Amino acid sequence: MSDSFRELLKKIGSGPHTSKDLSRSEAGAATEMILLGEATPAQIGAFMIAHRIKRPTGEELAGMLDAYDRLGPRLQPIAYPKTVCVLGIPYDGRSRTAPISPLTTLILTAAGCPVVMHGGDRMPTKQGVPLIELWQGLGVDWQHLSLEHVQQVLTQTLLGFVYLPRHFPLAQQLVPYREQLGKRPPFATVELIWCPYAGEAHLVAGYVHPPTEELFRQAFALRGTTKFTTVKGLEGSCDLPRDRTAIIGIQQPGSDSAFDHLLLAPRDYGFAGSEVPLGSEKELIAQMQAVLKGESSILRDAAIWNGGFYLWQCGLSPDLPAGFSQAEHLLASGQAFKQLQELGKASQARVVPV
């Protein structure tokens, strides 16, 4: 048992009248003790549920991210002129609506924008379809790639995927607590704004509840993160909705005053419609492949809607209409599909020593 961890646990777990927030350094220390197994399972479970009840602060999230940076994996900067886009998507996947982010990613990388994704296997509490399974269905298996191999794939194809069980086993050890507690712990918020890339990055973080966005902004400000986008997306992901106005927060490098909200109505651009429900994984993969081959698919409009927005947001298109046109062209011309084929080849190639 860790006596020092117990003191931090007492601080946040003393009830609504006497509990206190942790400082950034205290939150970082607590997270390190959790990841390294210096705290006991009883202490870790108590910390997670007490912290969920208390609710994390931006300062605490900053400290947790500090610990993730110290102990977690980080892909190294690539020699490329465009800023890497890091997508923060809930690790417990999707259960109601069809994910679009793999298609968005292929559109972005085909246009020359590097992307880093991260996640694990099916995970509590939702046990939804995770990114890793979607990529496997599309012919790219990240599960067995070393971090060195992922680095090579990122350099060659502009896409990298940090897979929690293989690349960050310390964090993977926390997954059983999610199932045993039946609630998402504070680390489920951390994963949305974690950046496993050591170079300049543009962080995109999905969320569900509006207060979460403010926590993101506070943590980013403390850590000096000056380029980020927040998306009130489908099931907390980075996927823009089509059945309602998309609420997007945009922070460009500079002061806090540079942050602003963009209310993006899909009907204004001809993309309004019902969200595509999540059917079987086999059906979803077939729909994605149809989009990439330029064939008819119920995912096509959602892919262009999302791809066009991110092309504009990442500086590949001068405005939204141009972004939508570019996304449509990348799909219709087969360039996004060719990108997928190159990605598959690179993920299967032998690692070349540096």
Residue 350 pLDDT grade (very low, low, confident, very high; cuts 50, 70, 90): confident
Say if residue 156 is exposed, middle or buried (CB neighbours under 10 Å; 0-12, 13-18, 19+).
middle
- Angle of helix 335-348 versus helix 320-332 axis, rounded to 10: 70
| pLDDT tens figures, 243-262 | 999 999 999 776 556 899 99
| pLDDT tens figures, 145-199 | 999 999 999 999 999 999 999 999 999 999 999 999 999 999 999 999 999 999 9
Structural domains for the chain: 3-55 (no CATH), 84-340 (3.40.1030.10)
Structure tokens at 250: 């945009």
Closest CA to 229 of 211, 247, 210: 247
Q: What is the pLDDT of residue 15?
A: 84
3-state secondary structure (DSSP) of residue 158: coil
List C-alpha distances in Å: 262 to 117, 212, 313.
24, 17, 11
Residue 97 pLDDT grade (very low, low, confident, very high; cuts 50, 70, 90): very high
Cα atoms in the 13 Å half-sphere on the side-chain side of 262: 16
Looking at the predicted structure, is the pLDDT value of residue 353 above 80?
no
Cα atoms in the 13 Å half-sphere on the side-chain side of 67: 23
pTM here? Answer: 0.96
Mean predicted confidence (pLDDT) in 286-290: 98
